[in-house]
Structure 1
Amino acid sequence: MTEEPASPPCYADGAGDAYMGYARPEEIVSALNELLEAERAGARVALAGGKYRAEPDYAELMRDVRKDEARWCAMLSRHLKRLGAAPSRRTGAFHAKAMAVPEPWDRLAFLNRGQAWVVRKLETLTPRIRDDSLHADLHAMLESHRANVARADALLDGGKRCSGQ
């Protein structure tokens, strides 16, 4: 057969991840470190919130959020090391901002906005991750944050007063 093919061969399989719409390695490292710093800040805020004993549901939520945040810090650090990057040792500015909110229920609402920020960040990042292991872990982190946001919303809306309302 001497006929020419109808179209030239496609070499897309040889193209880099960025060409295919996936995040470049340096973007991934930057995003993971940003998330790590945010998770560390959230863990510290939740640790302080867990000491508020006036409302058992509040304290329980804070303990659960702190445990989740610590788990995600470990996961993010593990993936950063696997990618050959150094995990950030900083705590995000969110911690100082949240701790400046004096009333516990207002601080919970502020923490919940931070959790929602992580949800939005993960919703944007996760589809751009080609690495199956990292993608699965980030998806689990996303679902966990969605659940925590819903729990906090229910607690805040369930007859609990925020001083600003």
Structure 2
Amino acid sequence: MTDQPNPLNTKEGEAQLLQDLLSAERAGAKVAGDSLKQCNDDAQRKVLEQVHRGEVDSCKLVLSCLQHLGLEPNREVGAFYDKAMAIESLDERLPFIDRGQRWVIRKLKEYLPGCQDPVIRKELEKMLEIHEVNSLLAH
């Protein structure tokens, strides 16, 4: 067994992860915001409002990491947006939104153990907590 470093914990892997996370968080914020416009159910509204806040806050955290590294943020909205909005029913869209939350959780849990930068670690640990709370709320 070789001790290969996690590709996410290389300079290139870290930069790509942060850009991917930024695109995904933008998509999540847009999905939650647009879904709120369609929402008539108080329980769903509460979940969507919480997810929207979390996605916006996560965008800020990722932007902070990119700025810390001196990297220019992309301007992309992830493909998650189109996939989520293609699901017409909010009852069916909410579990899909939660799958997006869990994707971010998986990526962060894969990356964080090898993260050597205390600034990035702190920001992404906050982001992980936001997504874990929001994923629990969505159930």
TM-score normalised by structure 1 residue count: 0.77
Return the offset for 1:54.
Answer: 2.1
Task: Identify the range of structure 1 (75-84 vs 94-103) with the bigger mean alpha-carbon deviation.
Answer: 75-84
Aligned partners of 1:112 and 1:149 also within 8 Å: yes
Instruction: Give 1 or 2: higher helix fraction.
Output: 2
Aligned pair count reads: 136
Match of 2:75 in 1: 89
Structure of higher RCO (CA pairs closer than 8 Å, 6+ residues apart) = 2
Return the offset for 1:52.
Answer: 3.4
Gap regions ≥5 residues in structure 2? none
d(CA) in 2 for partners of 1:39, 1:110: 14
Return the offset for 1:22.
Answer: 8.0
d(CA) in 1 for partners of 2:5, 2:79: 34
d(CA) in 1 for partners of 2:38, 2:7: 45
Match 2:16 to one of 15, 30, 47: 30
- Please report the RMSD computed on the Cα atoms of aligned residues, expressed in angstroms: 1.9
TM-score normalised by structure 2 residue count: 0.91
Match of 2:102 in 1: 116
Structure index of larger Rg: 1
Q: Deviation digits for residues 88-137 of structure 1, max 9, x if unmatched?
A: 11000000000000001101011001111111011101112101121011
Identity %: 35
Match 2:62 to one of 61, 76, 87: 76
